[in-house]
Amino acid sequence: MKPHMKALAFAALLVPLTAYRSPLTAQTSLTIYNDGRVLVRRSMPAEVARGSSTVRVPVGALDPSTLFSLDSSVVINGVSYDGAVDQNSVLRRAIGRKLKFRWGGPADTLYATVLGVDPERYLMPDGTVSFSMPGTPYFPADLVVVDPVATLALRSSAARNVLRLGYFTAGASWQANYEVILGRSMATVQGDATISNDRLRLENAELQLLAGSVSTARKEMDQTRNMAMARQSMEDVSVSQERVGEFHLYTLPGKTTLLPGITTSIALFDPVQASYEKNYVVRGALPWYGMLPQYP
């Protein structure tokens, strides 16, 4: 951890972007917070032209206000994020388009033009307008968002084919669990991190766990885009821990695959031996006055 990097009380860990040098070589790396926030760093193939350009990248679910560039020579001037994957959102994209509807058997189909939503309005083949859906809709593939995408307005000092981005999302959290097994004179202490994942789907990601309560930055601070997590390369043999201000950062060895609905447990350290002694402690208090028994 470089001395000038500080943990700010009102924000996530912020450092000047020019000081950021990522030792992580994986395509994706994550930092999971105790409260369910997830900081994602990704290197994605993208054709970025020199100067100003527009790039469309599949980024998955995220908070678009937190999207920032991990490369100091690439500036994000604007973000258009389409993360709606439900039918109503697809129907809004279809306004002005002619859709196929099935209202009975396989041969019972018709085409109607979507005029509007809220309320729904459809132009029927005979020129009339219906305020209800005329059957089961079949949407063209170009209207359906399978994986949320972001359209980025970029300014780059040089052409490149890899875009390095960071952003915050949600869907995973973690907690530490410790066990102490008492022997005759020695105790065995072991600990593990339990990662609960609701909806993240990431393969072969480098994983970090941040312990501590980190407040959210004010909205005006979100626009600085000067965000980068302080991180160091770790050995592959054990979990490494470092203190970052008032927080603790654990970097897990190797790569981790997170799948929706799967809870993962990873050892934080090898079991260690420690001597201990037994004590029998009785806690009580004398009565305030008079004869026993009385409430102390």
User: Residue by residue, what is the 3-state secondary structure of the chain?
Assistant: CCCCCECCCCCCCECCHHHCCCCCCCCEEEEEECCCEEEEEEEEEEEECCEEEEEEEECCCCCHHHCEECCCCEEEEEEEEECCCCHHHHHHHCCCCEEEEECCCCCCEEEEEEEECCCCEEECCCCCEECCCCCEEECCHHHCCCCCEEEEEEEECCCEEEEEEEEEEECEEEEEEEEEEECCCEEEEEEEEEEEECCCCEEEEEEEEEECCCCCCCHHHHCCCCCCCCCCCCCCCCCEEEEECCEEEEECCCCEEECCCCEEEEEEEEEEEEECCCCCCCCCCCCCCCCCCCCC
Is the pLDDT confidence value at 131 over 80? yes
CA angle 214, 216, 219 (to 5 degrees): 160
CA-CA distance, 103 to 129, in Å (whole number)? 17
pLDDT of 150 reads 86
> Tell me: the pLDDT tens digits for 112-128?
999 998 899 999 999 99
pLDDT of residue 42 exceeding 50: yes
d(CA 180, CA 188): 6
Mean pLDDT across 20-26: 35
Cα–Cα distances in angstroms (integers) from residue 14 to residues 20, 31, 136, in the given order: 10, 14, 50
Decide if pLDDT at 291 tops 50: yes
Are 125 and 110 contacting, i.e. CB atoms less than 8 angstroms apart? yes
- Mean pLDDT taken over the chain: 77
pLDDT bin (cut points 50, 70, 90) of residue 63 is confident
- At position 171, the amino acid (one-letter code) is G
Note the pLDDT tens digit of each residue in 189-202: 999 889 988 888 88
Give residue 265's pLDDT: 87
